[in-house]
A = this chain, B = another copy of it.
Amino acid sequence: MQQIFRSDVALGLPLYREVKHKLMESLRDGEWKPGDIIPAEKRLCERFGVSVGTLRKAVDELTAENILIRHQGRGTFVASHSQDRYMFGFFHIYAQDGRKEYPKVEFISLTRDKADADGAARLGVKKGAKLFRIINRLSLGGRAVIIDDILLPEQFFPNMTEAQVRDRRTTLYQLYQDSFGIGVLRTEERLQACGASADIARMLGIPEGTPLLHIIRRALSFRDEVVELRHSYVITDGHEYYAGDDNQGHG
């Protein structure tokens, strides 16, 4: 029989949404951390007092959002940042022949900065708020093609040091996760074209004013806080940004 009394969070929400919400709470509160296995479906059914079908529908949505990952026969795991996940879900630049390659990342600088009006609006902080600023140069096929200009609200990254950023052997999102407990759940990107500024032109070795693809990415946490604002400037005479379903590949 279906249970009569629902949690007070329920406001006409389907039961599976309630369950999903409770799972998200457990994730947000750190009951299960990235890489952890979560309890078996049977266990979770008992815990929430729902049937398998309902539990599965909740987990279905979380896997579709790349928050959980199921492995038949092994269990269900909390998604964790890795190089592969970065390439799969966050890095959208391909060579024009369709190949995809992990970029060589060259650290240029870590500085302290303050939010200007635009950065503050995009980050959801006050103008003048303290930020870290990371600049990286990325190479593909042995050629420098991308400058990343990354802004991080200081509050989320206490005492971040240049050594941490320079000497890491992981993606930045792994660093955020492992060293600061910041889980980047999803990103949104806005794209424009711009001419290379003097600084960017110098770092990429191209003439000032060269048309570049300008990607403005916001990275969001579990709580929908903006934890990173990244401006990427891409030379696109040999590469392209692919916008399509993750599932349907780059054919």
Q: Which residues of A contact B (CB under 8 A)?
A: 53, 92, 94, 186, 188-195, 209, 211-214, 216, 234, 236-237, 240-245, 248
A191 near B211: Cβ-Cβ < 8 Å: no
Cα A171 to Cα B31 in complex, Å, equals: 50
Q: Which residues of B contact A209 (CB under 8 A)?
A: 209
Q: Is the CB of B191 within 8 A of A213?
A: yes
User: CA of A92 to CA of B211 in the docked complex: distance in angstroms?
Assistant: 21
User: Could you name 13 residue pairs across A and B whose Cβ atoms are closer than 8 Å?
Assistant: A53-B53, A188-B244, A191-B236, A191-B243, A192-B237, A193-B193, A193-B194, A193-B211, A193-B213, A193-B234, A211-B211, A211-B212, A213-B213
Given A186-B245, A243-B243, 19 additional A-B pairs, CB 8 A: A53-B53, A92-B243, A188-B242, A189-B242, A189-B244, A191-B191, A191-B241, A191-B243, A192-B237, A192-B240, A192-B241, A193-B193, A193-B213, A193-B234, A195-B211, A209-B209, A213-B213, A214-B236, A216-B240
- Nearest-neighbour CB distance to chain B for A52, whole angstroms, equals 12
B190-A241 in contact (CB<8A): yes
A195 to B195, CA, bound (A): 9
Question: A106 CB to closest chain B CB, in angstroms?
Answer: 22
Flag if B194 contacts A242 (CB, 8 Å): no
The answer for the CA separation of A8 and B193 in the assembled complex, in Å, is: 51
> Which residue of the partner chain B has the closest CB to A247?
B65
Central interface residue in A188, A194, A214, by most chain B CB within 10 Å: A188
Contact between chains at A240 and B190 (CB < 8 Å): yes
What residues of chain B lie closer than 8 Å to A237, measured between beta carbons? 192
User: CB distance A240 to B191 under 8 Å?
Assistant: yes
B188 and A211 form a contact (CB under 8 A):
no
Closest to A215 in B: B243
